[in-house]
């Protein structure tokens, strides 16, 4: 049986849909309070409206551009004031970019690279840089960064995305060394093909998934809950000796 997370508060980025939304609802179901952020305020409000009253009392929401460090700092400080404490951060906000699956590296404009790196790498850096300041998070807190199985292998026509997800793993491992003496763990989760609106939009544009699941030992895409279960485990008290790790949740695609 999963441990209760009552009296704990967590920050979740990219919480308006997909893995972020699934993680927020799972943590709420286990008794936690959550500060949820996304770029789209309307989408966040729809999430809030879908919750029951007991859950709404444990939610703080605010739109945030993860690439804006000053905005990230304001959000984190507001969340901590609201709950009185923060016990962890799940950096889930991400993008596949606009041209993934269609352009070779020599065809890519710099703007595409900047878009992907600003969200997937700078966003993770900003949240870690502000939340890992000594004394900001509770001792025994946990940070979980969502990378991808593309962070340990290559995908065709996905240079910015692969580069960004490799970088997230590097950020995670380096931050784990620095945060360990503070009593804080830092880990990464590496999903493979997952049924999310982000993936659906890319399939609709490209005509096929850029992350194929047909050749994996478990030949299907993951449900978002199968990824959020691992994120919740790493955020919670059942993984207190796990840090600096990169957990693949890809049906064996990277085996």
Please give the Cα distance from 186 to 172 (Å, whole number).
6
Give me the catalytic one of 41, 157, 165, 173.
165
What lies within 8 Å, CB to CB, of 152 at 6+ separation is 166, 169, 190, 246, 248, 254
Please give the Cα distance from 123 to 167 (Å, whole number).
12
Told to judge if 48 belongs to the known catalytic residues of this protein, a careful annotator would answer: no
Concatenating the DSSP letter of every residue in 45-70 gives HHHHHTS-HHHHTTEEEEE--TT-HH
Q: Are 243 and 212 in contact (CB under 8 A)?
A: no
Ranges of beta strands (E only) in the chain are: 9-12, 33-38, 59-63, 88-91, 142-146, 185-191, 246-249
Give me the catalytic one of 41, 80, 161, 173.
161
Task: Give CB contacts under 8 A, 24+ apart, made by 213-221.
Answer: 213/251, 213/253, 215/253, 216/192, 216/250, 216/251, 216/252, 216/253, 217/251, 217/252, 217/255, 218/251, 218/252, 219/251, 220/251, 221/192, 221/193, 221/194, 221/195, 221/251
The CA-atom distances, in angstroms, between 206 and each of 43, 77, 82 are 25, 40, 42
Told to judge if 161 belongs to the known catalytic residues of this protein, a careful annotator would answer: yes
Please give the Cα distance from 195 to 246 (Å, whole number).
21
- The set of catalytic residues is 161, 165
């Amino acid at each position: 049986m999963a441990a209760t997370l009552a009296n704990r508060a967590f920050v979740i980025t990219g919480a308006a849909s997909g893995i972020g939304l699934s993680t927020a609802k799972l943590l709420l179901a286990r008794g936690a309070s959550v500060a949820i952020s996304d770029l789209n305020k309307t989408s966040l409000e729809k999430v809030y409206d879908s919750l029951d009253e007991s859950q709404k009392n444990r939610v703080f929401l605010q739109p945030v551009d993860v690439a804006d460090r000053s905005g990230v700092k304001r959000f984190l400080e507001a969340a901590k004031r609201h709950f009185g404490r923060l016990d962890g951060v799940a950096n889930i906000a991400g993008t596949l970019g606009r041209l993934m699956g269609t352009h070779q590296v020599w065809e890519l404009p710099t703007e595409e690279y900047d878009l992907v790196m600003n969200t997937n790498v700078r966003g993770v850096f900003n949240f870690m840089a502000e939340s890992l300041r000594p004394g900001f998070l509770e001792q025994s807190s946990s940070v979980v960064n969502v990378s991808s199985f593309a962070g340990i292998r290559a995908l065709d026509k996905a240079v910015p995305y692969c580069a960004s997800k490799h970088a997230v793993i590097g950020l995670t491992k380096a931050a784990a060394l620095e945060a360990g003496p503070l009593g804080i763990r830092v880990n990464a989760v590496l999903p493979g093909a997952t049924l999310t609106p982000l993936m659906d939009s890319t399939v609709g544009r490209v005509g096929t998934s850029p992350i194929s699941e047909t050749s994996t030992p478990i030949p299907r895409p993951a449900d978002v809950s199968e990824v959020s279960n691992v994120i919740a485990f790493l955020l919670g008290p059942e993984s207190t000796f796990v840090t600096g790790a990169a957990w693949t949740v890809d049906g064996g695609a990277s085996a």
